[in-house]
Structure 1
């Protein structure tokens, strides 16, 4: 007798087994197609996300980089020139990529031409300002001297990320543009309670308070908006680079190497920053040298 029964190899059972194998194969093929499809979608999604990130970063970068714009009015030499009566010389705005126009110094020896390159976070600039601001103002007001102040932003990275040097210099450009005769007073006020190097410096709102307290009362809303927008920051950066690259007009200096850089009738001052008498003596000597070189030499006596 055969053990196991006669149905083990029946055609019906074989057909069911073959159908199951075919179904399983179809499911595997379908799953592979689905996996490939998901992989393509995933890769495509990653690519789209990557493109979106690149676009977003590009937009952020483009928005953070201010396009080069014109400089402020009344600073075509990259500085503000203040003369008798504390009046600032008026000049048109310097257009992007245009070369600055150096101020014409007095060559008669009657007027001291003082030029100062300052960074408003520079402690040595503060020392010179504290010692000499009052006498410089007196000389300029009386017509005995002119002072040309060049704001630069060398210490932009030294204020805990706030770019105080750049923002302060921009603020002086805003004042020069909208209220030029207040430039000297505002520039001086920025050194009162001067922020320390490596500190965050003043906020924009605090700078605007200094503007108001320094006596500026013309176009305050325009000046405030100019400070908030950083309108002249790209110009400040360009002017700083010009001073660092040189040459320095109306002098033998190739470039500035730091702040303060002080010139009197084109001659660099290297004396004490905290001794007003020493600086006054230097100014007198520079005036005398200018006078002696500008005085024509008499012609020889005929027949002598």
Structure 2
């Protein structure tokens, strides 16, 4: 998941669960699909298999990293793909606001990294390798280092279909934000790529249940329900935090 969209008209129409915008990336988890469009990503429809409700226990256990207090009044699940250019825009607009709210004790954020945009990367597996690298850094135990690495991956996001960093280069990016030697070796060896793919599969299923059988990034769930207007700046978060507490 190309340059980020700058059109106000496109942003105003953005809905994570819809498929009409070229800034929304959708995939199906079944064999029978209809390809509706291919621009910078793709549009693929699912069938009924993954429709229903997301399992809150799976969402809690399957997150790659969780920030914020366990007793925070609001919990959200954030779904991203490191190859997604719209996720880069979302991170630029709302990433720091989520971190600040978590630090203030009002929000708990559970990050989920999807990998279906491997197909749009030059190497064919960048989404998986970047997600695996993020897991390596997260397991290093320093939350601030992870958040810096997470941001760096978006700031330095490779173009779709262009050259992307190999594992050694990803390890160097991690080193630049203070990742431990063990985390760097983990990235270079690709130790967590398989785990990242397995987590992505589970997260994809849960998100699909909440998005009527589809999957799009970026997406945010609150209480298992999709949050709208994610590309309108951090207003969506302000609206969420001003409301009543959700279900964790």
SS for the counterpart of 1:178 is: coil
Match of 1:227 among 181, 187, 197: 187
1:80 matches 2:65: yes
Q: CA deviation at 1:143?
A: 0.9
Residue 266 of structure 1 corresponds to which residue in structure 2?
224
| 1:1-304 map, 5 Å | 76-84=61-69, 106=71, 111-181=73-143, 182-216=145-179, 220-246=180-206, 257-285=215-243, 288=244, 290=246
- Taking structure 2 as the reference length, the TM-score comes to 0.66
Q: Given that residues 244 and 255 in structure 1 are in contact (C-alpha distance below 8 angstroms), is that contact kept between their aligned partners in structure 2?
A: no
Q: CA deviation at 1:169?
A: 0.3
Max Rg structure: 1
Q: CA deviation at 1:239?
A: 1.6
CA separation in 2, counterparts of 1:122 and 1:277? Answer: 21
The superposition leaves residues 48-101 of structure 1 with CA deviations (integer Å, 9 ceiling, x where unpaired) of xxxxxxxxxxxxxxxxxxxxxxxxxxx9424211115xxxxxxxxxxxxxxxxx
**Any unmatched runs of 5+ in structure 2?**
1-59
CA separation in 2, counterparts of 1:265 and 1:155? Answer: 26
- Taking structure 1 as the reference length, the TM-score comes to 0.55
**Any unmatched runs of 5+ in structure 1?**
1-74, 85-104, 294-304
Q: CA deviation at 1:116?
A: 0.5
SS for the counterpart of 1:135 is: helix
Greater helix fraction, Structure 1 or Structure 2 = 1
Q: Which structure's relative contact order is higher, taking Cα pairs within 8 Å and 6+ residues apart?
A: 2
The superposition leaves residues 208-261 of structure 1 with CA deviations (integer Å, 9 ceiling, x where unpaired) of 222122233xxx22112211221111112212222223377xx85566612112
Q: CA deviation at 1:278?
A: 3.5
CA separation in 2, counterparts of 1:83 and 1:118? Answer: 18
Cα distance change of structure 1 residues 187 and 256 upon mapping to structure 2, 3 Å threshold: farther
The superposition leaves residues 100-142 of structure 1 with CA deviations (integer Å, 9 ceiling, x where unpaired) of xxxxx75xxx622121011111011111100011111111111
Q: CA deviation at 1:180?
A: 4.2
Residue-pair matches, total: 188
